[in-house]
Structure 1
Amino acid sequence: MLFKNFKHLFASIALFIFCAVNAQQTKNWNGKKCAVVLTYDDALNIHLDKVIPMLDKYNLKGTFYLIGSSPNVVNRIDDWRKAAKKGHELGNHTFNHPCDGSMTGREWVPAEADLSKYTVSRAVNEIKATNALLYAIDGKKERTFAFPCGDMKIGDTYFYDLVKDDFAGARGVNSTYVKLQDVNLNNITAFGQSDTTAAQMIRQIEEAEKQGSFIVFLFHGVGGEHPLNVSEEEHTKLLEYLKKREKEIWVATMVDVAKYIREKQN
Structure 2
Amino acid sequence: MKLKSVLILSLLSIAHNLCLAQNWNGKKCAVVLTYDDALNVHLDKVIPALNSFNFKGTFYLIASSPVVTNRIEEWKTASEKGHELGNHTLYHPCDGSLPGRDFVGKDNDLSSYTLDRAVKEIRTANQLLKDIDGKSERTFAYPCGDLKIRDTLYYDYLKNDFVAARGVESGFLQARKVDLANVNSFVENGTTATQMIAQIEEAEKSGSFIVFLFHGVGGEHPMNIHLEEHQKLLLYLKEKEKDIWVTSMVDLGKYIQKKQS
TM-score, with structure 2 as normaliser: 0.95
Match of 1:253 in 2: 248
Return the match for 1:82 from 77, 82, 102: 77
Q: Matched residue of 1:73: which SS?
A: helix
Separation in 1, partners of 2:73, 2:112: 34
Match of 2:234 in 1: 239
Deviates more, 1:172-181 or 1:143-152: 172-181
Give the superposition deviation at 1:261. 0.5
Give the superposition deviation at 1:212. 1.2
Give the superposition deviation at 1:179. 1.6
Match of 1:108 in 2: 103
Q: Matched residue of 2:35: which SS?
A: strand
Are 2:117 and 1:96 equivalent residues in the alignment?
Answer: no
Separation in 2, partners of 1:47, 1:229: 12
Are 2:121 and 1:150 equivalent residues in the alignment?
Answer: no
Match of 2:168 in 1: 173
Match of 1:47 in 2: 42
Match of 2:209 in 1: 214
Separation in 1, partners of 2:54, 2:227: 17
Are 2:20 and 1:25 equivalent residues in the alignment?
Answer: yes
Return the match for 1:189 from 181, 184, 193: 184
What stretches of structure 1 of length at least 5 have no aligned partner? 1-7
Identity %: 62
Separation in 1, partners of 2:129, 2:195: 33
May I ask how many residue pairs the two structures share in their alignment? 260
> What does the per-residue CA deviation read over 1:141-184, in whole Å, with 9 as the maximum and x for residues that have no partner?
00000000000111111111111111000000001111211100
Return the match for 1:229 from 221, 224, 229: 224
Separation in 2, partners of 1:156, 1:121: 14
Separation in 2, partners of 1:14, 1:114: 56
Give the superposition deviation at 1:43. 0.4
Match of 1:73 in 2: 68
Give the superposition deviation at 1:16. 6.0
Q: Matched residue of 1:37: which SS?
A: strand
TM-score, with structure 1 as normaliser: 0.94
Q: CA RMSD in A?
A: 1.8
Return the match for 1:118 from 88, 98, 113: 113
Give the superposition deviation at 1:18. 5.5
What stretches of structure 2 of length at least 5 have no aligned partner? none
Match of 1:56 in 2: 51
Give the superposition deviation at 1:233. 0.2
Separation in 2, partners of 1:168, 1:103: 28
Are 2:136 and 1:141 equivalent residues in the alignment?
Answer: yes
Question: Following superposition, which runs of at least 4 residues in structure 1 exceed 3 angstroms of deviation?
Answer: 11-18
Separation in 2, partners of 1:25, 1:215: 15
Flag the 1:162–1:20 CA change in 2: closer, same or farther, 3 A. same
Give the superposition deviation at 1:15. 5.6
- Name the larger-Rg structure: 1
Separation in 2, partners of 1:25, 1:118: 44
Give the superposition deviation at 1:24. 2.3
Give the superposition deviation at 1:17. 7.1
Separation in 2, partners of 1:232, 1:134: 27
Separation in 2, partners of 1:18, 1:57: 38
> What does the per-residue CA deviation read over 1:165-207, in whole Å, with 9 as the maximum and x for residues that have no partner?
1100000000111121110000000000011000000000011
